[in-house]
Structure 1
Amino acid sequence: MDLFTIVTARADYEQGALVIIDQTQLPGREVYLALKTSEEIWEAIYLLKVRGAPAIGVAAAYGVAVCMQKVAATGFDDFYREFSRVKDYLASSRPTAVNLFTALERLNRALLKHQGVGVEILKQVLREEAEAIRKEDAEACRKIGEHGLSLLKPGMGLLTHCNAGHLAVSEYGTALAPIYLGQEQGFGFSVFVDETRPLLQGARLTAFELQKAGVNVTLICDNMASSVMKQGWVQAVLVGCDRVAANGDTANKIGTSGVAVLAKYYGIPFYVLGPTSTIDMDCPTGKEIKIEERDPAEVTEKWYDRRMAPEGIHVYNPAFDVTPAELITAIITEKGIAYFPFNDTFREWKKNK
C-alpha cells in the first residue's frame, strides 16, 4: 500500500456519505467507513476513527455538507435551522482541537453570505466550502514542510510524539511534512517515534506511516525519550498541535510537554508545526484551553488481552497537555516561522489572511 494513496476523509455525494479510513484499525487493516448520518460522523470523530486536528476539521466540513444534501427545506430559514443543529452537534464531539470549530464556522459564514438564494444553491455552497477547506489544508501542509525543512540538516536524528503526519491531515502532515520532503530529497533522517499513550498513535500510525515511506524509523516507549536524547541521537524534536493560544502555549497529545522539558534540558530545538488555523487568538494562554478527558479503560485494559490494572482504581486520562511557550524554540506554519515571544508574529499572520 502506497502511503499517499490513503485518503483520510472525502465526500461521496452519490452515496450520500463521508468516507474515512478507520484509523483505529491501522496498522493491521485498511478499512474504509461510509458515514451517512450526523450520529455516525460524531461517533467517528469522538472515537478517533478520524483524528488529527486538520483532518477533524476537513471531516467535519465534509460531514456537514453530506448531511445537508439530504435536507428538504422550503427556504433559507428552514435550511439554516437544520444546518445549525448538525453543526453544533458535531462541534460537541471533541473540545480541544480548534480546527473542528474553525471549519464549522467557515461553513456558517459561507451560508450567511447567501441568504437570498435557493436551497439547492445553499447545498452547493457547502460542498464548495468544504472542498476549499481540504484544498487549503493540503497546500498549507506542503508549505509547513518546506519551512520546517529549512531548519534541519541531512543526517539529523529527529524525535516526534503522537501522529502529525499524512493520516492527521489532507496530505503530507504537519510535524512529519519536513521528514517526508527530506526523504524525497535524500536527507537521510533517523526518526524516533514515541508510542504515545494512551491511544498509541505513535506506535500504530506514525511508525506505520514512516515505515511505508521508507524512512529510517525507530519506535520507543514514551519514557525512553530522555535516554535517546542523552545519547546524542536526537538533534531536533518535531510535534504537531491541536490548539495554539495567542501567547504560543500549545496543546498537543498528552506527553508533549514532558518531551519539551527534556529537550530544553538537553539543549535540543523543540519545534511545533501546524497551520495558522490552529492558532486561536481568542484564547489568551494555555490556561484557557479545555483539555479533553477520556475513558479510563484506554489506560487500564484497552491494549491488553486481560485487564492490567486493579478493578476500581482511579484513573486520570487527559488526552492533551499544554506546552508553555517559553519551552518552544519555534512555531512553524504555512506562513513562516515564529520565534518566542510569538504574539506579534501571530497577529501579523492573522491580519494578512
Structure 2
Amino acid sequence: MEKTIGDDYADNVRLSGDGKKVIIIDQTKLPNIEEYLTLETAEDIYDAIYELKVRGAPAIGICAGYGIYVLARQIHTEDYSDFLQKFREYKEYLDSSRPTAVNLSWALNRMEKVVTGHPQCTVSEILKLLEKECRMIQKEDIKMCRAISEYGLTLISDGDGILTHCNAGPLATSRYGTALGPLFLGKERGMEFRVFADETRPLLQGARLTSYELARGGIDVTLICDNMASLVMKNGWIQACFVGCDRVAANGDAANKIGTSGVAILAKYYGIPFYVLGPGSTVDMACPTGADIRIELRDEQEIKTKFYREPMALPKVKCYNPAFDVTDHSLITAIVTERGICYPPYTENLAEMFRI
C-alpha cells in the first residue's frame, strides 16, 4: 500500500509534549518552505488563524481547541468564577479571528461546555478535562475524514477527472482531508484520478497547497487558473467537482472559498455533478439560509500586492476582497459528511440527518 501525504501531515496541528504550546505547520510558507510554528500566547493563536498560517475549517477548529486549552493553563487562579470569566475572555477573542468558518466557534463552544459543566471541580481538574476534550476533537476529526473519504469515493470511478477549488486536503484537516480525502483513499486502493486544481485567487490555496498535496501523494494533478474551469469542463475532462465548505446552512446553502459558487454554476451548465464535502460540525442548523452567513472581508493588499514583486494596481484603486461566497443549494448535487451522503431536498434531509 502506498503511503499518502495524509499520513505525513496527520499532525500538522498538534499540542506540544508539555501541553503548553500549539504547534502548526505554517501554510503561508508552502510549498517552498516547510516551517513549524510554536503558538503560546493569545495573540500568537489569533494571528495564526487570521493570517491563514493555519486554515481549513476542521484544522481551525483543532487549533482553537488546543489553543484555548493552552491559554486556560495560563489562568492563575483557583477560584472557579474568576477562571470562567478569563476563559470566556480568551474564547471571545479567538472567536473573533475569523467569522465565517463555523468550526472555530463550534470548537470553542465545545471547550467552554467542559468548564461550565463542571463548576464543582477544581481548576486543576477542569484543566485535565479540557486537555482530554481538545485531544478528542482531533481524534474525531481523523475518524471523520476517513468516513467522508469512504462515502465520497462511492461517487466517483477509476479514471475520472475531478475539479476542485481551494484546499480541503490533509493540511486543512487531519489525515485524508475532506474534499481530497476520497482521492487519497482511492489512490491507496489502486485507483487513478486526473485532478484539475483551481489556483484559487487571491491567496492561491489551490496552487500552493492542493497541487502540493496531490503531487506529493502521487496523484495526477493539473493546476489551472480559476477562469479556466469552464474550458476544461467543456472539453469533457471533468466528471465531478469536489469542494470543501466552511459553513452549511440548514437549507443546504454552502459557504466556501470565494469562487466556489462560480464553479457550481458552470458545473450545472455542463451537467457535471457538484459535491460539497465537510464535517458535520460545519452544518449549522441554527443558520436558516446562506443569506444569514456572515462573509469575511479581507485586506485589499491580498489582491494588489501579495505574491507580487511590484503592486499590480495603483494605490488609489479600490478592491473588494470577500474571503468566501455562498453556493445556492439548488446547484449542489449532494452534501457529504461523516454521517453519510445527503441529497435534496436539503431542508428536510439535513434536519433528519442532524436531528438532535
| Partner in structure 2 of residue 173 of structure 1 | 177
**Correspondences of 1:276-291 after superposition (within 5 Å):** 276-291=280-295
Unaligned segments of structure 2, at least 5 residues: none
Q: Does 1:218 align with 2:222?
A: yes
The TM-score normalised by the length of structure 1 is 0.98
Matches of 2:247 and 2:4 in 1, distance apart? Answer: 30
| Partner in structure 2 of residue 97 of structure 1 | 101
| Partner in structure 2 of residue 182 of structure 1 | 186
Q: Is the 8 A contact 2:4 2:184 kept in 1?
A: no
Offset at residue 308 of structure 1 (A): 1.1
Cα shift readout 1:53-94 (whole Å, capped 9, x = no counterpart): 010000000000011112211221111111101111000000
Identity of aligned residues (%): 56
More off after superposition, 11-20 vs 201-210: 11-20
Offset at residue 345 of structure 1 (A): 2.0
Residue identity matched to 1:160: T
Q: Does 1:317 align with 2:315?
A: no
Matches of 2:344 and 2:230 in 1, distance apart? Answer: 24
More off after superposition, 61-70 vs 153-162: 61-70
**Correspondences of 1:232-243 after superposition (within 5 Å):** 232-243=236-247
Name the SS of the counterpart of 1:178 in structure 2: helix
**Correspondences of 1:337-352 after superposition (within 5 Å):** 337-351=341-355
Offset at residue 106 of structure 1 (A): 0.5
**Correspondences of 1:1-353 after superposition (within 5 Å):** 3=5, 4-6=7-9, 7-12=11-16, 14=18, 16-351=20-355
Q: Is the 8 A contact 1:21 1:50 kept in 2?
A: yes
More off after superposition, 67-76 vs 206-215: 67-76
Matches of 2:314 and 2:262 in 1, distance apart? Answer: 26
Q: Is the 8 A contact 2:163 2:195 kept in 1?
A: yes
Aligned length: 352
Distance 1:335 1:2, change over 3 A: closer
Cα shift readout 1:217-244 (whole Å, capped 9, x = no counterpart): 0000000000000000000000000000
More off after superposition, 158-167 vs 75-84: 75-84
Distance 1:15 1:138, change over 3 A: closer
The TM-score normalised by the length of structure 2 is 0.97
Matches of 1:308 and 1:92 in 2, distance apart? Answer: 30
More off after superposition, 7-16 vs 163-172: 7-16
Q: Is the 8 A contact 1:245 1:285 kept in 2?
A: yes
Q: Is the 8 A contact 1:291 1:318 kept in 2?
A: yes
Matches of 2:303 and 2:116 in 1, distance apart? Answer: 44
Q: Is the 8 A contact 1:158 1:190 kept in 2?
A: yes
Offset at residue 176 of structure 1 (A): 0.3
Residue identity matched to 1:335: R
Q: Is the 8 A contact 1:237 1:269 kept in 2?
A: yes
Residue identity matched to 2:45: I
Matches of 1:195 and 1:173 in 2, distance apart? Answer: 18
CA RMSD of aligned residues (A): 1.1
Residue identity matched to 2:233: M
Residue identity matched to 1:286: G
Offset at residue 341 of structure 1 (A): 1.3
Name the SS of the counterpart of 2:256 in structure 1: strand
Matches of 2:297 and 2:152 in 1, distance apart? Answer: 31
More off after superposition, 88-97 vs 70-79: 70-79
More off after superposition, 77-86 vs 94-103: 77-86
Distance 1:41 1:320, change over 3 A: same
Matches of 1:61 and 1:16 in 2, distance apart? Answer: 13
Distance 1:128 1:15, change over 3 A: closer
Name the SS of the counterpart of 2:302 in structure 1: helix
Residue identity matched to 2:249: A
Name the SS of the counterpart of 2:354 in structure 1: helix
Name the SS of the counterpart of 1:351 in structure 2: coil
Q: Is the 8 A contact 1:13 1:66 kept in 2?
A: no
Name the SS of the counterpart of 2:335 in structure 1: strand
Unaligned segments of structure 1, at least 5 residues: none
More off after superposition, 122-131 vs 252-261: 122-131
Offset at residue 351 of structure 1 (A): 2.1
Offset at residue 348 of structure 1 (A): 2.0
Offset at residue 322 of structure 1 (A): 0.3
